[in-house]
């Protein structure tokens, strides 16, 4: 048995393209529908109620695209309203990012001292801390909000002096805590991966999307929901709430080719 319906992936902006990259690599025959809420990015400075409202609108839109599963490629949504989404939408598997980041982080650390960076809303939610401490009693977690990383990623300023200096300033506080692993608790942050690596040196940097793609593949396989490998070339479809040229530019950087996104108006 198989299921050729697409996988839906959404984020507040372009950051979720880093998740599309990993999902596409892990499951090369899957069709993917991506929605980026570029008109309302960033989510990290918004209230939980607002983020929940936006997320419900997006999930409803993706379901109209007949998706078989939904990946919440946004840690702010994952940390603040994943449970609400699963209660509202009970017929479709929905995957969040926090649990995958925790699993990968625990595998990466040997000192049991882990750093987590994310948006203000993600860090304020304490979702990562709770999940880490539930999984391992001997772990110590240090969290840091890095609100400037999202606008830098959205602007494409990922390899300049501004990104370098911002990374050094944000991450020094965690280095002073002697962490040996750093979880990127925002899907925009892998766009600044080179700057982050240079700032943290030998600290292992964890991208939760890699673990997410592997486990989602396992889930779909077990549920007989993977697409047939004999189908036509898979289709990647991209939709945004506000069209900007930067989407094409960043999609080329992340996915290897520029993708044209279609602007759509969500039902309020």
* Residues carrying an active site annotation: 74, 186
- In angstroms, what CA-CA distances link 208 with 35, 170, 189, 197? 19, 20, 11, 16
Q: How far apart are CA 172 and CA 32, in angstroms?
A: 38
Residue given tokens 């925009």 in the structure block: 188
As a whole number of angstroms, the distance between CA 8 and CA 31 comes to 9
223 φ/ψ angles, rounded to the nearest 5 degrees: -90, 10
CA 254 to chain centre: 13
Q: What is the 3-state secondary structure (H, E, C) of 52-74?
A: HHHHHHHHHHHHHCCCCEEEECC
The backbone torsions φ and ψ at residue 254, rounded to the nearest 5 degrees and listed phi first, read -80, -45
Contact 97, 209 (CB under 8 A): yes
CA 233 to CA 52: how far, in whole Å?
35
């Amino acid at each position: 048995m198989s299921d050729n319906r697409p996988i839906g992936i959404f984020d507040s902006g372009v950051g979720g393209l880093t998740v599309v990259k990993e999902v596409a690599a892990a499951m090369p025959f899957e069709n993917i529908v991506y929605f980026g809420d570029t008109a309302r990015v960033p989510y990290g400075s918004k209230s939980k109620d607002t983020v929940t409202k936006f997320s419900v609108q997006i999930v409803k839109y993706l379901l109209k695209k007949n998706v078989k599963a939904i990946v919440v490629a946004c840690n702010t949504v994952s940390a603040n309203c994943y449970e609400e989404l699963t209660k509202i939408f009970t017929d479709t598997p929905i995957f969040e990012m926090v649990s995958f980041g925790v699993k990968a982080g625990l595998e990466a650390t040997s000192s049991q001292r882990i750093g987590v960076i994310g948006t203000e809303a993600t860090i304020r939610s304490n979702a990562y801390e709770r999940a880490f401490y539930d999984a391992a009693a001997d772990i110590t977690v240090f969290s840091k909000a890095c609100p400037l990383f999202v606008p830098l990623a959205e602007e494409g300023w990922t390899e300049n002096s501004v990104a370098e200096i911002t990374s050094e300033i944000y991450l020094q506080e965690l280095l002073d805590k002697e962490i040996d692993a750093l979880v990127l608790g925002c899907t925009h942050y892998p766009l600044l991966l080179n700057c982050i690596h240079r700032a943290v040196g030998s600290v292992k940097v964890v991208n939760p999307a890699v673990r997410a793609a592997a486990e989602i593949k396992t889930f779909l396989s077990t549920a007989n929901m993977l697409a047939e490998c004999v189908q036509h070339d898979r289709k990647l479809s991209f939709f945004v709430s506000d069209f900007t040229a930067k989407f094409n530019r960043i999609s080329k950087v992340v996915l290897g080719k520029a993708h044209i996104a279609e602007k759509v108006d969500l039902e309020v």
